[in-house]
Structure 1
Amino acid sequence: MDIKRSLVLLCSSYGSFLLGQEKAVDTIYIFDNQMNKVKLFHPVRTINPKDVEKNSTNLSELLRYQSSIYIKENGRGAVSSPSFRGTTAQQTAFVWNGININSSFLGQGDVNNIPLFGYDQIEVKAGGGSVVYGSGAVGGSIHLNNILDFNRGFKASVFSEAASFDTYNNFAQASFSNDKLSVKVSGSYVTSQNDYKVPEFVVGNTGFNNVNGRYYNTSVNIGASYKIADQQTISWQNQIFDASQHYPIFEDNGNRTKYKAQTLRSLIAWDIQKNNLSNSLKAAYTEDNFQYFSSLNLPKASGAEGKNYIFKNDFNYFITPKININAIGEFQVNKGEGYESGIGSISRNVGSLAGLIRYFATKDLRFEAGIKKDFVENISSPLLYSFSGKWNALRWYHVGANFSRNFRFPSFNDLYWQPGGNLDLLPETSTNIDMDHEFSFGDFKITLSPYYMDIKNLINWLPTPLGYWAPFNTARVESYGFESQVTWNKKLGKHSVKLDAGYTYSKSVNKDTQLQRMYVPLHKAVGNIEYGYSFLSVYAQGLFNGLTYTTTDQQRSTAIDPYFILNTGISAAIFKKYTLGFKVNNVTNTVYQTVSLYPMPKRNYSVYATINF
């Protein structure tokens, strides 16, 4: 996408898209062409590669300390899932370059089986987004974006980190671009023995020892974009990921198990960009395979292979300088085959049509309305809609409001797992209302975002009289609260200070019992402060997590107690090409859990180096 043209510059001084003006800036191609439109109406938190260096263990750690999402991790590096505004992991959409990549089997993304490295931006959007990003975008969405720029010549970088518990993180990236061609290649290798100990956390008669906690993963990313004409671009993005996780055990002589996962994602896009219209045609292939080993030395005990073929077209047109229409059509073929799960060879066709209209009334006032219908084979899907408005009421005060209906259709496991799969399941639906109040005072900015969600037909797996578990549409959930964010950036000569802090209150109750739902902390607060002087930079990072219930009956005895974690680090830039850094995580040596019975590491250290070419 050409940011010299209208749809990337977005808003002119009149609140509309720039239709005739051009600006002498570099050209870039963004694979998720909808994200710039989303930002017109919704706050989106952006995490850049420099931020990743502070929390480079895995994607779980990054999101835990740099977003409002609650991350449930079965011990460091193991199974991990997000809870967004009190919703389930299945109600958070992972979006890779504009394509929803939630597992067809689980209906969610396993955070630690998604690579941390290889993206140019990681963006977090709170609130419903099913009209644009499909099934699962109920509580929010996590966007993994790649960008290709032109006329930048050759650039390369290497990041290498050694940390406690025999942990090594390595990432290398190289890119080349001229006025016609842009190519970027990157790769990462992460490995850890992960043999941390928490002697204060007693399991049986001894302290916790993370026996059999080893993990490793590798990823390769390749991206290319070529301008076939002044207003047309052909682009390709490809990601290959391979991972292995050994599941922790509580006794040295316990049964040692492991889980292996492989993913392939490949996306081809043809973009046409003119002054008053644009069209993006995408074809994608994604593959998700996994194997579970009930013993390290035995063949796999269960597994599955999933393949998805995706075709998507996004057409955008300005009827007038103030009225913009957007039509999105998508068709998918989801195929899967299970092993020792009762799931045979299955296939499902999924299609959707969405339309959005945006009206830029003045330079300070704009509106958007959207409607979408999904066509899911053998499932009756609801009509989805969204309404948004943004008003820059005063120079220092902006307000936005959003109302939407969102959904999640049942996963392959929900429908076909044997015994237990339920072919009569209905999609989960939600009604979302939220507001955003933004206050700006010089370098100081505050955002307050109250929200409300009413979720129906929640899918729960419950025990049956026949002795197995099965999914049912059982619960109605009411979730409400607010998110807040404070940022402050100040630069004075060689001194610079950056503050980024947020607090979230999440009340999420089962309407039948009026009890708080499992693994939804009422309170979460995160804060990052960084001070820089000349070539030195020092940061401190804090996380407070409130009382978290781990059972549906809200038992205090089994709840996770509140905890506070403090991280800190220092880095030095040498000759502008080299960076050396040292980090201390969990400075206060706090004993804490994110999932019951699986403590996280106490104080640990890392040293890293970055080289830019």
Structure 2
Amino acid sequence: MHAAHSGRLSGRHPLAALRTYVQASIARNYRYPTLNDLYFQPGGNPNLAPEKGFTYDTGLEFTLKSDELFTLKGEATVFDSHIDDWILWIPTTKGYWTPRNVKQVHSYGLELKGKASLRLGEWTLWMDANWTHTKAINKSEPVSSEDKSTGKQLVYIPEYSSALMTQVSWKDFFFIYKYNYYSQRYTTSSNEMYTKRDQLGAYYMNDVSLEKRFKWKQTGVSVKFSVYNLFNEEYISVLSRPMPRRNYGFTVSINPRWGHKSN
């Protein structure tokens, strides 16, 4: 369901058009456990039940576009989910992880997205950004008098996250910069922090790439060199599993385009 409004902006760029949309949706969620959830060794749980529930969201979207110079898009969405039997992997006292069903989870929040492109002769600047605030709260009844997980944020789900991707191109050369941010995450269902192991600190991730694209008959070829974790940050995504420091990648991609005539 959505409603739209459009109009022309007068002034220096008469071809700029503004369109706005209001949209809303309701979705029924049903997700079966994966094979890893069921049978991974050690830790798989063959007794898992499927996740099920409903998600509601509503938002506002706009597009400002000029055929000659630029495009700007923005979107703000509020979402609300109620899920039964949420599948969550948690650590055990035996040293490995195992999934279990969290009976009721209420997940809600706000997501902001933006895209922009600007063309200046043979140069093109393109940007894609998003920011999310997510609360994923355990609404299940306590399983014992010592269960303090009710009303708390689920483990390993950051409350705040954001991402930015920027690409500058000139002819067939492309420079790409990627940025990601994740706020602190709890490692205990009670969200209590008695030791440093009870939370994973926030971290920023920066990647850069330089790519050259070629065209040969009906085939597209690209060669890309990438630097991951540009600033050599020390971080972990899962407790006791440190991630790589600065590392490098070299990629060659071949994309046949059968059915397209070569120029």
Distance 1:611 1:459 in 2: 38
Which segment drifts farther, 513-522 or 428-437?
A: 428-437
> What does 1:486-565 correspond to in 2, within 5 Å?
486-512=114-140, 513-556=150-193, 557-558=196-197, 559-565=199-205
Displacement of 1:587: 0.7
Specify the code of the residue in structure 1 equivalent to 2:206. L
Q: Do 2:72 and 2:116's aligned partners in 1 also have CA atoms closer than 8 Å?
A: yes
Q: TM-score, normalised by structure 1?
A: 0.32
Distance 1:472 1:535 in 2: 49
Specify the code of the residue in structure 1 equivalent to 2:210. I
> What does 1:124-273 correspond to in 2, within 5 Å?
none
Displacement of 1:472: 7.3
Does 1:447 find its partner at 2:58? Answer: no
Alignment-derived partner of residue 599 in structure 1: 242
Alignment-derived partner of residue 58 in structure 2: 435
Q: Do 2:176 and 2:208's aligned partners in 1 also have CA atoms closer than 8 Å?
A: yes
Distance 1:472 1:611 in 2: 42
Distance 1:573 1:481, change over 3 A: same
Distance 2:114 2:231 in 1: 25
Q: Secondary structure at the match of 1:555?
A: coil
Distance 1:597 1:487, change over 3 A: same
Specify the code of the residue in structure 1 equivalent to 2:184. L
Q: Do 2:164 and 2:180's aligned partners in 1 also have CA atoms closer than 8 Å?
A: yes
Displacement of 1:522: 0.6
Q: Secondary structure at the match of 1:515?
A: coil
Over aligned residues, Cα RMSD in angstroms?
Answer: 3.3
Q: Do 1:390 and 1:401's aligned partners in 2 also have CA atoms closer than 8 Å?
A: yes
Structure 1: give runs of 5+ residues left out of the alignment: 1-388, 464-468
Distance 2:33 2:122 in 1: 55
Distance 1:489 1:534 in 2: 16
Specify the code of the residue in structure 2 equivalent to 1:538. F
Cα deviation digits, residues 464-483 of structure 1 (max 9, x gap): xxxxx998765311110122
Alignment-derived partner of residue 5 in structure 2: 393
Distance 2:124 2:227 in 1: 22
Q: Do 2:107 and 2:136's aligned partners in 1 also have CA atoms closer than 8 Å?
A: yes
> What does 1:75-86 correspond to in 2, within 5 Å?
none
Cα deviation digits, residues 117-168 of structure 1 (max 9, x gap): xxxxxxxxxxxxxxxxxxxxxxxxxxxxxxxxxxxxxxxxxxxxxxxxxxxx
Distance 1:584 1:470 in 2: 34
Displacement of 1:567: 0.7
Distance 1:582 1:473, change over 3 A: closer
Displacement of 1:578: 5.0
Q: Secondary structure at the match of 1:590?
A: coil
Alignment-derived partner of residue 608 in structure 1: 251
Does 1:580 find its partner at 2:217? Answer: no
Specify the code of the residue in structure 2 equivalent to 1:605. Y
Q: Secondary structure at the match of 1:487?
A: strand
Q: Secondary structure at the match of 1:521?
A: coil
How many residue pairs were aligned? 216
Identity of aligned residues (%): 26
Distance 2:90 2:247 in 1: 39
Structure 2: give runs of 5+ residues left out of the alignment: 8-18, 66-70, 92-96, 141-149, 257-263
Cα deviation digits, residues 413-454 of structure 1 (max 9, x gap): 769x9x9865xx765431211013211122100011110011
Q: Do 2:206 and 2:229's aligned partners in 1 also have CA atoms closer than 8 Å?
A: yes
Does 1:482 find its partner at 2:110? Answer: yes
Alignment-derived partner of residue 404 in structure 1: 27
Q: Do 2:45 and 2:100's aligned partners in 1 also have CA atoms closer than 8 Å?
A: no
Specify the code of the residue in structure 1 equivalent to 2:240. L
Specify the code of the residue in structure 1 equivalent to 2:24. A
Q: Do 1:592 and 1:599's aligned partners in 2 also have CA atoms closer than 8 Å?
A: yes
Distance 1:539 1:421, change over 3 A: closer
Displacement of 1:554: 1.1
Distance 2:255 2:45 in 1: 53
Distance 1:420 1:608, change over 3 A: closer
Displacement of 1:403: 1.7
Distance 1:433 1:462 in 2: 27
Q: TM-score, normalised by structure 2?
A: 0.70
Alignment-derived partner of residue 568 in structure 1: 208
Q: Do 1:435 and 1:450's aligned partners in 2 also have CA atoms closer than 8 Å?
A: yes
Distance 1:611 1:420 in 2: 41
Distance 2:175 2:98 in 1: 51
Displacement of 1:393: 3.5
Q: Secondary structure at the match of 1:516?
A: coil
Displacement of 1:552: 0.8
Q: Do 2:102 and 2:138's aligned partners in 1 also have CA atoms closer than 8 Å?
A: no
Q: Do 1:421 and 1:471's aligned partners in 2 also have CA atoms closer than 8 Å?
A: no
Q: Do 1:393 and 1:399's aligned partners in 2 also have CA atoms closer than 8 Å?
A: no
